């Protein structure tokens, strides 16, 4: 059985809501039924077969081919299976995702992995603002799972994040891990201003010194922490270089904060 493939065949003028195209929602549906699914595009609805060439039948392994940054809500709330995006994805990728795997070969827009509960998202390109964050007005961001970004991530990564791990192999923007409740964000590259702003608990693991930290973080000194190899070993098997660091990253400089609030979070900078 070949993967159920949606190949974008028109140039979208408005953004398209792809949330009905998840493995769970398409399970057991025939080709005609899938072709007739209505997708919201701007202020009107389009049939799936008016937007995509549809081939294959394995709804557990969906492929979105020739994808564009106008495709929003890919994998929204998905509970199983996999979605492979060949190209870029729009906003809200993996919003409220409960399980399964999403792989994007290009870039994604804002709010990817927002309020995600579990599963795995791998983005080969860059990610927009509010990766793994809470939706505006909500208080609980990402609550589980693993998000891997091979490129850079923009601002407010992990805003209000509650659990899980975000691994950024490139650089991250400003307000990394702002208002975090718990969880782990690791960055190989540089980070922007105000990392850990108002974080309550949680861990920011930085492989490069952030230069200047907020004044509300206090230096706890340099330490060899036994949980770091265990944590990094936990990423082995995921498509990320962080798993390879299990034998290398043990010694870190620990900064506790944000002391203007609860102050039980930490920024660990690899020594």
Residues that bind another protein (CB under 8 A): 144, 163-164, 182, 184, 201, 203, 223-227, 229-231, 233-234, 246-247, 264, 266
Least separation, in Å, of the C-beta of 246 and another protein?
Answer: 7
CA atoms within a 13 Å half-sphere pointing along the CA-CB vector of 190 = 4
Least separation, in Å, of the C-beta of 225 and another protein?
Answer: 6
Q: Which is nearer to another protein, 61 or 182 (CB)?
A: 182
Q: Which is nearer to another protein, 20 or 229 (CB)?
A: 229
Least separation, in Å, of the C-beta of 122 and another protein?
Answer: 17
Q: Which is nearer to another protein, 27 or 230 (CB)?
A: 230
Task: Show the tokens assigned to 112.
Answer: 């990817």
* Dihedral-angle region of residue 77 (phi above 0 means left; psi in -120 to 50 means alpha; beta otherwise): left
Distance (Å, rounded) from C-alpha 78 to C-alpha 219?
41
Residues present in the chain in total: 271
Least separation, in Å, of the C-beta of 115 and another protein?
Answer: 17
**99 — phi, psi (to 5°)?**
-170, 175
How many other β-carbons are positioned within 10 Å of the β-carbon of residue 188?
21
Q: Which is nearer to another protein, 136 or 237 (CB)?
A: 237
Least separation, in Å, of the C-beta of 243 and another protein?
Answer: 11
Give the single-character DSSP code of 147. Answer: E
Q: Which is nearer to another protein, 31 or 230 (CB)?
A: 230
Least separation, in Å, of the C-beta of 22 and another protein?
Answer: 23
Distance (Å, rounded) from C-alpha 25 to C-alpha 80?
10
Q: Where are the beta strands (DSSP E) in 56-111?
A: 58-67, 71-72, 82-87, 101-104
Q: Which is nearer to another protein, 67 or 245 (CB)?
A: 245
Q: Which is nearer to another protein, 25 or 225 (CB)?
A: 225
- How many angstroms separate the Cα of 168 from the Cα of each of 31, 154, 172, 182, 197? 38, 10, 7, 17, 18
How many other β-carbons are positioned within 10 Å of the β-carbon of residue 178?
22
Least separation, in Å, of the C-beta of 268 and another protein?
Answer: 11
Residue 144 three-state SS = strand
- How many angstroms separate the Cα of 95 from the Cα of each of 41, 107, 164, 216, 222? 18, 16, 14, 32, 37
């Amino acid at each position: 059985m070949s993967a159920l493939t949606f190949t974008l065949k028109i140039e979208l003028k408005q953004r398209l809501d792809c949330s009905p195209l998840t493995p769970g929602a398409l399970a057991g549906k025939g080709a005609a039924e899938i072709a007739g699914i209505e997708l919201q595009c701007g202020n009107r609805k389009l049939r799936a077969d008016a937007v995509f060439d549809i081939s294959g039948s394995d709804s557990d392994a969906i492929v979105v081919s020739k994808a564009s940054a106008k495709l929003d809500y890919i994998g929204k709330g998905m509970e199983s299976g996999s979605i492979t995006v060949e190209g870029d994805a729009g906003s809200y990728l993996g919003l409220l995702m409960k399980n399964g795997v999403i792989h994007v070969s290009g870039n994604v827009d804002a709010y990817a992995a927002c309020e995600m509960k579990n599963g795995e998202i791998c983005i080969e390109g860059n990610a927009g603002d509010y990766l793994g964050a809470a939706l505006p007005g909500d208080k609980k961001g990402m609550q589980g799972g693993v998000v891997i970004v091979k490129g850079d991530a923009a601002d407010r990564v992990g805003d209000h994040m509650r659990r899980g791990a975000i691994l950024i192999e490139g650089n991250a923007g400003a307000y990394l891990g702002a208002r975090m409740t718990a969880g782990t964000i690791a960055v190989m590259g540089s980070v922007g201003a105000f990392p850990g702003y108002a974080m309550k608990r949680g861990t920011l693991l930085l492989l490069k010194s952030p230069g200047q930290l907020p004044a509300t973080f206090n230096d706890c000194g340099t330490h060899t922490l036994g949980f770091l190899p265990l944590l990094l070993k936990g990423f082995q098997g995921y498509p990320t270089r962080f798993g390879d660091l299990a034998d290398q990253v043990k010694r870190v400089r620990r900064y506790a904060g944000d002391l203007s609030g609860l102050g039980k979070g930490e920024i660990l900078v690899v020594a």
